[in-house]
A and B are shown apart, each in its own frame.
Chain A
Amino acid sequence: MKSRIALAAAVPLTLGLLAACGGGGGVSASSAADAQGPISIWYSNNTQEVAWGEQMVASWNKLHPTEKVTGQQIPAASSSEEVIGAAITAGSEPCLIYNTAPAAVPTFEQQGGLVSLSSFPGGAAYIEARTGPGASVYKSPDGQYYQMPWKSNPVMIFYNKKIFAKAGISTTSPPLSTYTEFLATSKKLVSSGAAKYAIYPDPSSDFFQAWYDFYPMYAAETGGTELVENGKSTFNSTAGDAVAAFWQQMYAEGLAGKGSYTNDPFADGTAAMAIVGPWAIASYQGKVDWGVVPVPTTAGSHGDQVPTFSDAKNIAMYASCKNRGTAWDFLKFSTSTAEDGKLLTMTGQMPMRQGIQQLYASYFTANPSYQEFAAEAAHVIEVPNVANSIEDWQVFRDAWSKSVIFGQQSPDAALAGAATQINKLVASGGTP
């Protein structure tokens, strides 16, 4: 009996030790660097991007029959980042993913899951020539590009013209420029019964939700300061406190929704406004007659040069790729002037390319409502490319949730605590 127990105990122990010592394999970087051949790619699963991805892959395959590309939607999960992280660990990720969040890049890098695009001849020059000086924010601390800046979705305030008209508010020039105006307009929208809530940013605790309430307004308020700069958090400041106080008042007065909501509250008319990028426009078609304005600031935001959050999605090459030569050629093909134009036309999202308003003038003439996004695209800020990026954002979100949304602590104290914690995390330099 004792020996059977010993046997039973030995099995999991041995398996555990095997796993601990295992994990060999991987791709030889030197042999893969120039290799040509078939590759696979993943793209986002929204209808418009799928259509763009399919036509782009078909165009490539017609021209390069020996270097066939297989495209598919990114597997479904609660976030793309966890799918990609798991795929890197399993060594099953495709060569290119057209849905890489800049915030996740430091983690993927730490995992050894990314290929430096700067390692290709002319790689850095290609990225910088396409995107311009704005490309530099996507450089990692080692000076290499592990992501290709691809497309941005400048976050702005969408408003429902029908609801605004019902509340007796101007639909062509709504008073939403300053915090005072925004609050007054919100109160009018709710008290008139035109909408249940003025605005309804997702109040959940996901780390990335701060990108759709705090961060765009912080960018506008500070003139384009990132959450962390020079290794220190920046938001424990007058500007950070002002943004937090604004949102706290919105929640405290019932102008913004606090509970989970399964549908899109802007699309179904529950909220009169939304704070989001142009990628969402497709889901409003036929449901909402919308207008768009820049996010407010204390002093007033006017024109189309108010900094905001980019909500960018980039392209990265992954370590399991065996034919990196083809992958690099395909990456350039998919970010060419022609394909960027198709991306804009088919999805309404802004390619991160210099001078898009001039380059695709006919599109913007035909779709004037997108011009503001194009103008804003030149003034966006990004999430900081720092160690423990996702953890930093989670710390921030938890503090925000506790103080601003649920009022259990003063926002100033909560943000100060979060700033100290984030400083420590950034200083730890990625040591998990």
Chain B
Amino acid sequence: MTSIASRRPKLSPPEGELAPGARQARTQRLVRAALGRHPIGMLFSAPYAFFIALLFAYPLGLAVWISFHRYFFAAPGVSVPRPYVGLANYEAVLEDPAVRQAFLNIAIFMVINVPLTVILSLLLATALNAVIPFRAFFRTSFFVPYVTASVATVGVWLFMFSSGGIVTNVLGPLAPHPSWLINEQWAMPTIAIYVTWKGLGIFILLYLAALQSVPKELYEAAEVDGASWWHRFRSVTVPGVRQVTTLVTLLAVITGANLFTEPYLLTGGGSPNGKSTSPVLQIYETGIEQNHPDFASALGVILVVGVLLIVGIQQLVQRRQA
């Protein structure tokens, strides 16, 4: 039975006003939209968010701002004009042949370093995952270059790859002339091989961890079906570690984009003739040494966008394949 009261039509509040319940619900909705279902999560993540904001977001925001202005570093309290210059800094960067050469150099670097890193670390991890003698020794050996300071390993490589070095002497007439690090064609590939060798340890470790999670039954089933080692590797191992391959590729691309120490130390800052310089080295030269942070910031922004594009394309391809 329906009472008269319940049949009475509800009165709407005047326009612009909300009933107390509706107001509360709306506030709750806004709070939830801003802070999520569990606001306490925001509290827990606040320290890291603050860290990210201070050390990554702030410098990135500042770099973007600087890249659109005429800017140089000045002492505190010194008033200097910082006019808005639109895309002038970006134009200067893109017109600079040295910058174009630097991007070409890291493209060469990535073409060598990224596949080499992925293939070598996967193969070596697979080998180290098998029951082989001195497994622990080999695992440690591959990891040693990664934990050794670049300055020390660079010294060894300079010694090995100089004109009278052991590599040149062993190869004899097959060695390039002029020697590796002062040869226009070989300087960047040598740096790429050095970086691959130095970073291999950590990537092997990532693959070793991934290999533990590939079900043994898959290998056994493949073996029962008569699959060879190569077939088992291609059809079980490679798909089984796909996620790590994505990560390794990503990290290798980022390493290439951030290349600085190796050309700075191995080839004296980009020799020969700028053939081993990198965009980050250029950022250092123009931004820090020559006090042109506006140009350097524009170059940095282009580099970040470039890396994001490569990573985005890679993710897209990966998803389609999956």
Residues of A within 8 A of B (CB): 1-4, 7, 11-13, 15-17, 19-20, 23-27, 78-79, 81-82, 85-86, 88-91, 107, 110-113, 196, 202-207, 258-262, 319-320, 388, 390-391, 394, 398, 401-402, 405-406, 408, 431-432
Contacts and interface: CB of A to CB of B under 8 A. Distances in A.
Contact of B53 (A15, A20, A203, A408): A15
5 contacts: A7-B34, A26-B75, A90-B76, A258-B271, A260-B158
Contact of A432 (B72, B75, B155, B269): B72
Interface size class of B (residues with CB under 8 A): 35 or more
A259 B184 contact: no
Given A88-B73, A110-B291, A406-B272, A20 B65 contact: yes
B289 A19 contact: no
A79 B289 contact: yes
Interface string B172-208: 0000001101101000000000000000000000000
A107 B291 CA distance: 7
B77 A26 contact: yes
Nearest to B178: A258
A350 to B, nearest CB: 27
Contact of B62 (A1, A20, A82): A20
B291 A111 contact: yes
Interface string B63-94: 01110001111111110101000000000000
B65 A406 contact: no
A27 B77 contact: yes
Given A16-B65, A204-B271, A260 B76 contact: no
Interface stretch (B142-150, B216-224, B226-234, B260-268): B260-268
Contact of A205 (B33, B36, B73, B269): B269
Interface string B209-245: 0000000000000000000000000000000000000
B53 A401 contact: no
A78 B273 CA distance: 21
Q: Which of B58, B290, B294 has the most CB of A within 10 A?
A: B290
Nearest to A319: B75
A112 B78 contact: yes
Contacts of A204: 268-269, 271
B294 A432 contact: yes
B258 interface: no
A203 B74 contact: no
Given A3-B33, A81-B289, A260-B158, A406 B75 contact: no
Given A16-B62, A20-B65, A26 B288 contact: no
B270 interface: yes
B58 A88 contact: no
B76 A432 contact: no
Interface in B148-176: 154-155, 158-159, 162-164
A207 B286 CA distance: 11
Given A85-B73, A406-B182, 10 more contacts: A12-B61, A16-B60, A20-B62, A20-B66, A26-B77, A88-B73, A91-B77, A112-B77, A260-B271, A401-B273
A4 B272 contact: no
Contact of B72 (A79, A111, A261, A405): A111
Interface in B268-293: 268-274, 277, 285, 288-292
Contacts of B178: 258
Contact of A206 (B70, B184, B269): B269
B127 interface: no
Contact of A262 (B36, B155, B289): B155
Given A89-B75, A259-B181, A398 B274 contact: yes
A394 B290 contact: yes
Contacts of B289: 79, 81-82, 207, 390, 394
Given A16-B61, A203-B271, A24 B75 contact: no
Contacts of A23: 74, 76-77
B158 A432 contact: no
Contact of A390 (B70, B273, B290): B290
B57 interface: yes
B30 to A, nearest CB: 8
Contact of B268 (A85, A89, A91, A260): A260
Nearest to B286: A391
Contacts of A203: 182, 268, 271
A207 B30 CA distance: 58
Contact of A111 (B78, B158, B271, B292): B78
B33 A16 contact: no
Contacts of B267: 260
A431 B155 CA distance: 40
Given A12-B57, A401-B273, A259 B182 contact: yes
A389 to B, nearest CB: 9
A401 B271 contact: yes
A40 B69 CA distance: 35
Given A11-B53, A207-B289, A260 B266 contact: yes
A85 B296 CA distance: 16
